[in-house]
Structure 1
Amino acid sequence: MPAVSVRALWWALLLVLVSATARAQTAPPAAADLDAFYDQLNAYRTARYQPLPELEALQLPATFSGAELKALRLQERHIVRIDLVYTAFRLNPTFNQRQLNLSRIRNLAAGVPGLLQDESVTWTLVEQTGCNSPAECQPFFHGFVVYVARHATAATMRADLDSLTRKLRILEKKRPKASKKAQGKKVACNLPGSRFSNRQMARSLRRLYRCPQREAQVVQFQLSVDARGAIQTVKVLPTARPVCVAELEEAIRKSVAFTSGFPIDRRMFPFIAKGAIRLPLGPLQLLGPPDMGFTSFALPDSAARLYRVFLKKKNKQHKNDYCEARITKKGELRAAADTAAPELALPPDANVVSRVLQRHPEWSKEVVVTDVTGSMFPYTYDLLAWLQLSALEDEKTFVFFNDGNDQSDKDKRVGKTGGLYHVRTDSYEAIKNKLIETMKAGGGGDAPENDAEALLYAQQLAAAPDSAELILIADNYTFPRDARLLKNTTAHVRIILCGVHDYINPKYLALARKHGFSLHTIEADLLDLSKLLEGETITIQGQQYQVTKDGFKLVRKT
């Protein structure tokens, strides 16, 4: 065979191999795989779709072209969420919306390789019900709404870091540094007095609450009380299993009474009391803990600007739980916030970290693990502001992570991404400096982070690794790429979710249910998710989620 023919044969073979590889990379998913993927999607109905205001939304019509797809510029930013939006109206009653939706998702996946495998992307089906004819439905949007976020780069991280240091400098000028030497003058403080013991409250509750309850769960409740000790509101917090909420709230109202407001510095203040009830209510036991009791007390924001209150557990010197209070300068926190750097548009839950930590003063021994990548900037500031304004009494361990010290996304390996920094101290300055060091070393890059790697690192730093208590401050919109590393963890993790505006990321609900973790938002504490069974639903902040074989999905939005 002539040499030229051999070369031609090799070129032809190479062309076949390249073509086959290209087809494999863009091949549509198998029908069964796509059906399984579709069945797990979040889905809700609304009169007319409104994009989320907190994220950058890009509209991609159902009949999108390659040019429109290219205009998304996904090489510069990453996808956070995709909503497939359509209308419920049908001209033909036999029309199959599911098949059309599957076709649209298949087309989008072919144009964005790896999209269906990206666990950090949240998918939602949105059916619009506000039109009843072709003419009415014509102006309604049909297609994909793609929510994106910028890739964190060295430049964007420098800008975030400049804003952070500016805001902290302003805050530091407005009040003395939080330290043991400058905590403010100590003043008299007593916990609000209850007219009834825990056993008396449990006895009353057992008489008043008759709702059937077979399976065990702990129900959290919250009371707002005025300065005279009169109960103003009673709220049962979201539960893992159904309860008769209205009946339980009324039973709590009738079973609880306080002798006064919160006594501090010879004055009475309104306060917030949190408690827990163990259901089902059993017969009254002479020994063992009662079925009802209080877990924490807190001042409202107006009083908290006057005093810093520290709740203490009983010890050798004190037979019961008690409190300590120190006076502070009125309005300093508000003034610092009002004069902070104006260029940053803060999200609605920008103070979620401080709010959760305020309502859980009992979290004193936990190791704090914090995502400090670009998406978390407002919450990083909130953590530092909280630490500066709340003097640390004991050494505490902090682990900060930046998802790999700015290494290329393609080089990141699960469990070996790096970018982990820790400090154990009671010094605000040392904590701030370590956090800034972590931010300078990297901004994160792509969406998913290495939260699990950071948690396992923190667990080994704990005094008792096998039973470590960890607090993870995480981004609701980006799910960790390495969650599978937590398969055998024995740590108890409390996850503070940042960026919960429209919904809780169902992947975090699934993670908490699988490992027995708890989730905490600016409004709610979600406990005992592991007790939910497949098929059960739970309502959280107006949204209804259903437990599925593989996790959770949003099924109704109010």
Structure 2
Amino acid sequence: MKTKLFLCLLLAVGSSTGVFAQGRIVANSIREYINADVKIVPREDGKGVSIVSEEPMYVAGQKVNYKNSAVYIAFSLHPEWDNVLLVADWTGSMYSYVGQIIRWHKLNIDKELVRNIVLFNDGDDAISSKPKRIGGTGGIYYANPNDIEGLLEQIEIAVDNGDGGDAEENDIEAILAGLNKFQEAQDIVLVADSSPVRDIKLMYNIEQPVNIIICDTGNIQDYIRLAYYTGGTITSAYDDIDFSDRQSINPANIVFEGNIYDVSMETATLNKQ
């Protein structure tokens, strides 16, 4: 979902300086958020801490309510995730969720649960008369999560370079790029909204489970397909499904947040493997 944030603030900054530094504004907002006071409790598995019962805050102009934050809920529900390759949609609607990821990681940084981060924005602002090339759209950025300032610098660069300009995203390209670069990754966690996945057909090249944190409501057919096909999980603020035992799941009747999804088309591909 493509949304340009802080329009009024950007206009004010631009009019006084002549420069529209949206990336710096977003990075500074996240920096302020991750450094704010927070109530924490130890996780039951001993792997770090979780955030609880905090008053809503704003990250990059977007409200964060911890009682229905898909990010914090997902990490609490899945303490088994370790040596994580975290792949995150980095377009306008996702700024607050990536802020939550960084905050959670900073609180648990000594555990090194998240080892590498990949941000993707669906090809920067490279819009032309030609369609984007599946698998070669670009707009992919790598960051070391243990270097918080370096991560924020990458965030600033990625924001200023654009957000793809259209609705679909290159989620699978980003996952495959991350796996190619960080081959030691144990668990893949994709953080995304309900934007369609332009390159969903590339998911057949993924050989590890993909665990998806879905951050908003909408038609998430592509993400249900991806989680089911790879034998991963999909988690929102209100629901959670584990597809590791596909034999026990009817692919034609998957219920998530009260909606029914049919991914039976994937069973034929799985049966050939």
Same fold? TM cut 0.5: yes
Q: 1:385 aligns with which of 86, 97, 103?
A: 103
Paired with 2:213 and 2:128, the residues of 1 have a C-alpha distance of 26
Could you report, residue by residue, the CA deviation over 1:450-485 in whole angstroms, capped at 9, with x for unpaired residues? 1111111011123347xx531111122x12111112
Do 1:349 and 1:498's aligned partners in 2 also have CA atoms closer than 8 Å?
no
Shift of 1:509: 1.7
Higher strand share: 1
Shift of 1:429: 2.5
Paired with 1:471 and 1:342, the residues of 2 have a C-alpha distance of 22
SS at match of 2:204: helix
Do 2:30 and 2:59's aligned partners in 1 also have CA atoms closer than 8 Å?
no
In the alignment, what sits opposite 1:516? 231
SS at match of 2:178: helix
SS at match of 1:370: strand
Shift of 1:430: 2.6
SS at match of 1:400: strand
Q: Tell me which amino acid in the other structure corresponds to 1:490.
A: E
The reply to whether residue 506 of structure 1 matches residue 212 of structure 2 is: no
Q: 1:405 aligns with which of 97, 102, 124?
A: 124
Shift of 1:518: 2.1
Q: 2:165 aligns with which of 445, 452, 463?
A: 445
Q: Which TM-score applies when normalising by structure 2?
A: 0.74
Q: Which TM-score applies when normalising by structure 1?
A: 0.39
Q: Percent identity?
A: 24
In the alignment, what sits opposite 2:192? 474
Q: 2:26 aligns with which of 164, 179, 183?
A: 164
Q: Which residues of 2 match residues 73-84 of structure 1 at below 5 A? A: none
Could you report, residue by residue, the CA deviation over 1:466-512 in whole angstroms, capped at 9, with x for unpaired residues? xx531111122x12111112223212211111112xx5522322233
Paired with 2:266 and 2:143, the residues of 1 have a C-alpha distance of 37
The reply to whether residue 396 of structure 1 matches residue 94 of structure 2 is: no
Could you report, residue by residue, the CA deviation over 1:366-390 in whole angstroms, capped at 9, with x for unpaired residues? 2111110112122122222222333
Q: 2:175 aligns with which of 445, 450, 455?
A: 455
In the alignment, what sits opposite 1:433? 153
Shift of 1:164: 3.1
Structure 1 gap ranges (5+): 1-148, 176-303, 312-322, 552-558
C-alpha change, 1:355 and 1:159, in structure 2 (3 Å) is: farther
The reply to whether residue 417 of structure 1 matches residue 137 of structure 2 is: yes
SS at match of 1:174: coil
SS at match of 2:165: coil
Aligned residues: 252
SS at match of 1:446: coil
In the alignment, what sits opposite 1:357? 75
SS at match of 2:54: helix
Shift of 1:548: 4.8
Higher helix share: 2
Do 2:215 and 2:236's aligned partners in 1 also have CA atoms closer than 8 Å?
yes
C-alpha change, 1:499 and 1:460, in structure 2 (3 Å) is: same
Q: Tell me which amino acid in the other structure corresponds to 1:460.
A: N
SS at match of 2:158: helix
Structure 2 gap ranges (5+): 11-19, 268-273
Q: Which residues of 2 match residues 356-375 of structure 1 at below 5 A? A: 356-375=74-93
Q: Which has the higher contact order (CA 8 A, sep 6+)?
A: 2
